[in-house]
Amino acid sequence: MSYVDEVFELVVAKNPAQPEFHQAVKEVLESLRVVIEANEEAYRKDALLERLCTPERQILFRVPWVDDKGQVQVNNGFRVQFNSAIGPYKGGLRLHPSVNLGIIKFLGFEQIFKNSLTGLPIGGGKGGSDFDPKGKSDREVMAFCQSFINELYRHIGADTDVPAGDIGTGAREIGYMYGQYKRLTGLYEGVLTGKGLTYGGSLARTEATGYGLLYLTEEMLKCNGKDIAGKTVVISGSGNVAIYAAQKAQQLGAKVVTVSDSTGWVYDAEGIDIALLKEVKEVKRARLTEYAAARPSAEYHDGKGVWTVKCDIALPCATQNELNLEDAKALVANGCFAVAEGANMPTTLDATEYLQKNGVLFCPGKAANAGGVATSALEMSQNSERLSWTFEEVDSKLKGIMVNIFHNLDDAAKKYGMAGNYVAGANIAGFLKVAEAMTAQGIV
């Protein structure tokens, strides 16, 4: 059996009941096959793939907190420090009821390659909890965040592990976590990114993932002889990534006609009104029904449906496995020619294959949404320098990083005979740097 197949079987056997983790490992290993086979003996002797697929450290902990009725609640806390070969662990904290160890491991594993692709010195990690901030009072969210940090603080630090936001963890949660970290350690350091601007945050961090997604998409289209201006775009999600992806898409001259949340979606024939969307989602934290109620050109639909809308470009920006084979077929049938993932692993493996086989330009999340972590790393640099860069400085660095990422994966795909396969290109380019660093550092 080939080394790749052997390791995949081992991962499934050693990590039972973690389907998302298996899926992420399978996607990466499959596309690395040609690279691994070219150097199989050395990698096998060093158990390089076994080490790559096994987190350096997994921290699981109890998070007790008291709700507004005086009732004690208990959540599970996670931090998976996956790989530090090229820098301190870096990756977000997800707060969502669906969080479990397998989800955090899939995200942490993906983060290794994403962080490597940015060209910045950051390793891979991820964390979070099955706590749901939705419907909780500010005091309850603070109580949870403080309890979460009461355990996590001893495992993180500006030069060891620097968590950030993710689903459910926005500026409010990062603020409460940072305050508690500072209280416990007495340190005013860049231990978390996504901080507020008054206490060490970076301008353009809020916009970074969505903007970065569009900078990369624009470059991918340009290199394939297409222009984003005038195109129709469908977007899923209406959180941080979706909102700023929609904003930048419209700034670049495209028309965004959909957004969604976990209960329904909106079709707006005149193009999404970004100011209204922000008011509904960022200020009122309300459902999309309120967007539709305030906008005559918008239709609200319950459930899932954005991928059935006719479009040129699709940007999944909500969550994992939200675009399946049936959705991919609908996109192709409607003439969609480009898909770039704002979320992490939103497209199922069979849907990705279908899109690629049908000539759709497909850029995976580990490259397309790397703008968030790249700007987090820029926040770390500013914190170390004790300086704050202007919005324009950060935004122009972000754009440079995203354009560079696209060319790295495009070049890697071409070099290994898979021109246009950006999934393979991203995995190969991300892997080679990490593998070289791991090999140089010996068996650790």
Residues that bind ligand NDP (CB under 6 A): 165-168, 209, 237-242, 261-263, 317-319, 322, 342-344, 369, 372
Q: Which residues are CB-neighbours of 365 under 8 A, at least 6 positions away?
A: 110, 114, 341, 342, 343, 344, 345, 346
Position with the least CB separation from ligand NDP: 239
- In whole angstroms, the minimum distance from the beta carbon of 233 to ligand NDP comes to 16
From the candidates 114, 126, 366, 399, which is the catalytic residue? 126
- In whole angstroms, the minimum distance from the beta carbon of 143 to ligand NDP comes to 20
- Whichever of 150 and 236 has its CB closer to ligand NDP, that residue is 236
- In whole angstroms, the minimum distance from the beta carbon of 332 to ligand NDP comes to 22
Has 126 been annotated as catalytic?
A: yes
- Whichever of 166 and 379 has its CB closer to ligand NDP, that residue is 166
Q: Which residues are CB-neighbours of 114 under 8 A, at least 6 positions away?
A: 124, 365, 366, 367, 369, 370, 373, 430
- Whichever of 25 and 167 has its CB closer to ligand NDP, that residue is 167
Cα 263 to Cα 61, 237, 257: the distances in Å are 31, 10, 18
Which amino acid, residue 217?
Answer: T
Q: Which residues are CB-neighbours of 274 under 8 A, at least 6 positions away?
A: 243, 246, 247, 250
- In whole angstroms, the minimum distance from the beta carbon of 252 to ligand NDP comes to 19
- Whichever of 9 and 138 has its CB closer to ligand NDP, that residue is 138
- Whichever of 180 and 344 has its CB closer to ligand NDP, that residue is 344
Q: Give just the sign of the alpha carbon dihedral 134, 135, 137, 141.
A: negative
β-sheet with 255-260: strand ranges across: 298-302, 264-268, 255-260, 232-236, 313-316, 338-340, 361-363
- In whole angstroms, the minimum distance from the beta carbon of 249 to ligand NDP comes to 15
CA 206 to chain centroid, in Å, comes to: 13
Which amino acid, residue 396?
Answer: S
CA-based R_g, the chain, Å: 21
Residues belonging to the active site:
126
